[in-house]
């Protein structure tokens, strides 16, 4: 990999931070995912998936168990969509996102509407197979769960947990 590509891959500007398989497998044991709405044919985590060309944001996720590691260029729209599909369409949505707790969307959608936040201990190494990145990500990560308990309109805020990189309490 040349230097400019390397620089891009380790900044949060790239949209291709592939979920570590171990972490996905652990979450999948519990949530039995049926849809990955932001993927490529190569990186899809579920047999049912949408690519950039399909535009997963424009599709219904009704009643699906959804896993999302969104493109980092527009996380806010994916968080808003996850919140909407969970509160209005019966979806359960689990998101792997950078832990950017100062953003407006974090407070508006996650603190107000998520069921759970798992803060990941340490930094993830994204990628799979021979594409695993040598260095850990330059940002902390969190797993956000919407719609697990179907608690529409509740106001107590999400439950917060600590999660090991490969096997946290779920
Ligand atoms: C961070 S990667 C995650 C890939 C894979 N789902 C995973 O978990 O490893 C985000 C993916 O979303 C794709 N993407 C970007 N915009 C999209 C859109 N509007 N609809 C569906 N996929 C999109 C990107 O091409 C990229 O492959």
pLDDT of residue 95: 98
Is any ligand 1 atom within 6 A of the Cβ of residue 18? yes
Q: How far apart are CA 96 and CA 4, in angstroms?
A: 26
Put residue 150 in one of left, alpha, beta given phi > 0 → left and psi -120 to 50 → alpha.
left
Instruction: Report the chain's mean pLDDT, rounded to a whole number.
Output: 87
In the predicted model, is pLDDT for residue 30 greater than 70?
A: yes
In the predicted model, is pLDDT for residue 122 greater than 60?
A: yes
The larger pLDDT score, comparing residue 81 to residue 168, is at: 81
Give the chain's count of helices (H) and strands (E). Answer: 5, 5
Q: Are 147 and 92 in contact (CB under 8 A)?
A: yes
Is any ligand 1 atom within 6 A of the Cβ of residue 39? yes
Give the distance (Å) from ligand 1 centre to CA of residue 155. 31
Best mutation site among 15, 73, 132 for ligand 1 pocket (most ligand atoms within 8 Å of CB): 15
Best mutation site among 13, 22, 36, 51 for ligand 1 pocket (most ligand atoms within 8 Å of CB): 51
Is any ligand 1 atom within 6 A of the Cβ of residue 36? yes
pLDDT of residue 169: 55
In the predicted model, is pLDDT for residue 115 greater than 70?
A: yes
Residues contacting residue 75 through CB under 8 Å, at least 6 positions apart: 97, 98, 100, 105
Q: Are 45 and 36 in contact (CB under 8 A)?
A: yes
Would you say the C-alpha torsion 1, 130, 56, 109 has a positive or negative sign? negative
Judged on CB neighbours under 10 Å (0-12, 13-18, 19+), 146 is: buried
Q: How far apart are CA 25 and CA 103, in angstroms?
A: 29
**Domain segments of the chain: what residues?**
26-51+61-134
Structure confidence at residue 140 as a pLDDT band (50, 70, 90): very high
């Amino acid at each position: 990999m040349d230097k400019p590509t390397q620089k891009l891959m380790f900044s949060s500007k790239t949209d291709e931070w592939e979920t570590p398989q171990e972490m996905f497998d652990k979450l999948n044991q519990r949530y039995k995912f049926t849809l990955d709405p932001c993927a490529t044919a190569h990186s899809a985590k579920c047999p049912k998936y949408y690519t950039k060309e399909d535009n997963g944001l424009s599709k219904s996720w009704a009643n699906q168990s959804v896993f999302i590691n969104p493109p980092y260029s527009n996380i806010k729209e994916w968080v808003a969509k996850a919140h909407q599909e969970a509160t209005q369409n019966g979806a359960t949505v689990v998101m792997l996102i950078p832990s950017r707790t100062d953003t407006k969307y974090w407070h508006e959608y996650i603190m107000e509407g998520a069921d759970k936040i798992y803060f990941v201990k340490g930094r993830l190494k994204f990628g799979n197979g021979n594409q695993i990145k040598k260095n850990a990500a330059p940002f902390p990560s969190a797993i956000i769960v919407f719609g697990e308990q179907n608690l529409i309109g509740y106001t107590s805020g999400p439950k917060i947990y600590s999660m090991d990189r490969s096997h946290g309490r779920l």
